[in-house]
Amino acid sequence: MAISELRPLEIAVPRIIAQATEKEIEAQPGALPRRTLGRRIDRPPAIASVHLSLTTTATPIEPASAAPASPLPVGPAAISIQGVSKAFRLPHQQYHTLKERALHPFRSRTFDVLQAVGDVSVEIAQGEFFGIIGRNGSGKSTLLKCLAGIYDIDEGQLGVRGRLSPFIELGVGFNMDLTARDNVMINAIMLGLTRKQARERFDEIIAFAELEDFLDLKLKNYSSGMQVRLAFAVAIEVDAEILLIDEVLAVGDAAFQQKCFDEFHRLKKLGKTIVFVTHDMGAIQRFCDRAMLLEKGRMAAIGEPEQIARRYNELNFGRTVHKVAASEGQDQSEQHKEAEILDAWFEEPSGKRVVALGHGEPCCAAVEVRFAQALEDPIFGMTFRNDVGATVFATTTALEHGSTGRFEAGQTAVVRVRFDNWLTPSRYTVTPSLAQNGRGDNAIDLREDLATLMVHSGHFTGGTAHFPHRFEIEVK
């Protein structure tokens, strides 16, 4: 069903606007400004409920593997989300015109309820870079739209301290029949700039977007990547204390994404509060102070970015631990019916396992796989990442080896990747993966950062690798 067909869920409890006098607000230290209290709620709160301690709650999907909550940052909350829920109703019978409704007044008016966000509670501190991840349909974008005021909430309370700049959906706030020049001015003013400020910053916005040659072109003729450039450039120029950034950056080209990431570093240093939604686990681990995982509209886990990234991969590919407690009463084959990765390690040429290796020495990464069912030509892969989560090297047997053969049920195989270690001194991890034959996107098992290697000695040049090379100088 199209998004335009979704309607807010009607509830029996009357909506109440939270109101308080200036005296009531001033009486509470650290309470959110009055202009942020006008959110619709379903249960009348005392004004004291707006000022909350910096705590979080979680509804784990699998309590045994839930990531522990990370230490919360100290400071006042920039965003307070308390028991927020949002649902849509999906009618079984669609009316497209007033005539249809008039001619068929007694048609079925039944509908299904889609609970997009359910009882989510979290507080985000001022200056925190907070990541929200989850599979498609888990409620990430809906939650951001509730924060931005695009959707009313059905239950709970929302509090926002400071000016907010949303960048959450391609084309929102733009008029496709106007030129980029007009859209920049209108959008900047809508986000809080005065006309004078919008004119003063116009050149900076266009320069960041690199769209000088397309100023007088209507936006309906822009590509999605060009629209992203323009929208992001406006969003970061409005002096907002809080930025909401959805995964629309994924449609931009690689050079502009890197430019945006550089801007993230700058905004983080300035102490801006950023709520970042993405499917890029590398970006989550690289930028975020904390992260939250949503699943089916509910909070599944909250904590350190590395832990939440692992949970995200567990939801997509299975567990990241390779042993099941006997008390769980569940066989490993129930988790990975075809095959599972048992272990991974690094070793010397002699076969001895190592956790540290010198720069320039031969290295081997190994992974052990057990097959529960017969498989023909499965694809083995390994991804190597550095200490900030950036991928430095990735390979699969489909690219470098070809056919891997047939494996029978009950067999165990050890797959090795040998290479000369030209990595610069740092900590590296390997993420082994196993997929069915084909394009390699039908994963059977994946274990995030299963083995670690420390590279020592050598010279740190600022890069991730230092290859053998020589200079040649010719004087003419």
> Is 469 a domain residue?
no
363 and 437 housed in the same domain: yes
Kindly state whether residue 475 falls inside one of the protein's structural domains. Answer: no
Domain of 133?
Answer: 3-162
Which two three-digit tokens encode residue 53? 């301690």
What is the token pair recorded at 392? 């430095």
Residues in Cβ contact with 284 at an 8 Å cutoff, skipping those fewer than 6 apart: 131, 133, 276, 278, 291, 305, 308, 309, 389
Pull the structure tokens for residue 57.
Answer: 């709650």
What is the number of domains present in the chain?
3
**154 and 22 in a common domain:** yes
285 and 206 in a common domain: yes
What is the spatial distance between Cα 248 and Cα 258, in angstroms, rounded to a whole number? 14
Boundary of a domain, candidates 317, 347, 373: 317
- Answer whether residue 99 is part of any domain: yes
Report residue 126 as tokens: 């001022």
Average confidence (pLDDT) over 234-253: 78
| Angle at alpha carbon of residue 206, lines to 204 and 210, rounded to 5° | 115
How much is the average pLDDT of 79-101?
86
**CB-side exposure of 178: number of CA atoms within 13 Å?**
12
Instruction: Describe the crossing of helices 195-209 and 224-235 by its angle, rounded to 10 degrees.
Output: 130
With beta carbons less than 8 A apart as the criterion, state whether 412 and 366 touch: no
State the DSSP string of 342-381: EEEEEE-TTS-EESEEETTSEEEEEEEEEESS-EES-EEE
CA 348-353-358 angle, to 5 degrees, is 50
- Total residues found in the chain within this entry: 476
Pair (8, 143) in one structural domain: yes
Per-chain mean pLDDT for the chain: 76
CATH number for the domain harbouring residue 186: 3.40.50.300
Identify whether residues 299 and 436 lie together within a single domain.
no
Q: In this predicted structure, which of 90-104, 134-148, 198-212, 273-287 has the lowest mean pLDDT?
A: 90-104
If asked whether residues 285 and 425 sit together in one domain, one would say no
Angle at 202 between CA 200 and CA 208, to 5 degrees: 125
Tell me the pLDDT tens digit for each residue of 16-66.
Answer: 223 333 333 333 334 443 333 334 333 333 222 222 222 333 333 343 333
Residue 76 lies in a domain: yes
- In the chain, the percentage of residues whose pLDDT exceeds 90 is 31
Instruction: For 203-258, give the DSSP string.
Output: HHHHHHHT-GGGTTSBGGGS-HHHHHHHHHHHHTTS--SEEEE-GGGGGS-HHHHH
**Contact present, 305 and 129 (Cβ < 8 Å):** no
Q: In one letter, which amino acid is 99?
A: K
CA proximity to 110, closest of 83, 90, 86? 90
Of 162, 192, 209, the position where a domain reaches its end is 162
Q: Is the dihedral of CA 402, 406, 409, 410 positive or negative?
A: negative
Asked if the model's pLDDT at residue 82 lies above 70, the reply is: yes
Distance CA 213, CA 181 (A): 11
The pLDDT tens digits for 405-464 are 999 999 999 999 999 999 888 889 999 999 888 765 578 888 888 888 988 876 667 678
Work out the average pLDDT over 325-335: 41
d(CA 294, CA 365): 33
Query: Region 104-131: what's the mean pLDDT?
Result: 87
Domain ends where: 264, 291, 317?
A: 317
Do 354 and 371 lie in one domain? The reply is yes
**pTM given for the model:** 0.56
Does residue 439 form part of some domain?
A: yes
Both 154 and 200 in a single domain?
A: no
Query: Are 208 and 345 within one domain?
Result: no
Residue 464 lies in a domain: no
Q: How far apart are CA 163 and CA 188, in angstroms?
A: 13
What is the spatial distance between Cα 351 and Cα 156, in angstroms, rounded to a whole number?
A: 58
| 143 and 225 together in one domain | no
Separation CA 281–CA 258 (nearest Å): 15
Residue 343 sits in a domain whose CATH number is 2.70.50.60
Question: Does 115 fall in a domain?
Answer: yes
pLDDT at position 25 is 33
How confident is the model at residue 79, as a pLDDT?
93
pLDDT band at 365 (very low <50, low <70, confident <90, very high): very high
Judge whether 19 and 42 are in contact, CB under 8 Å. no
- Helical (H) or strand (E) element with 437: none
Residue 263 sits in the same domain as residue 295:
yes
Residue 476 lies in a domain: no
Spatial contact of 86 and 117, defined as CB atoms under 8 Å apart: yes
Nearest to 116 by CA among 76, 84, 72, 158: 84
Joined together, the tokens standing for residue 305 give 């970015």
> What band does 254 get if pLDDT is binned at 50, 70 and 90?
low
Same domain for 107 and 186, yes or no, is: no
The Cα–Cα gap between 277 and 153 comes to 19
Q: Does the pLDDT value for residue 268 go beyond 50?
A: yes
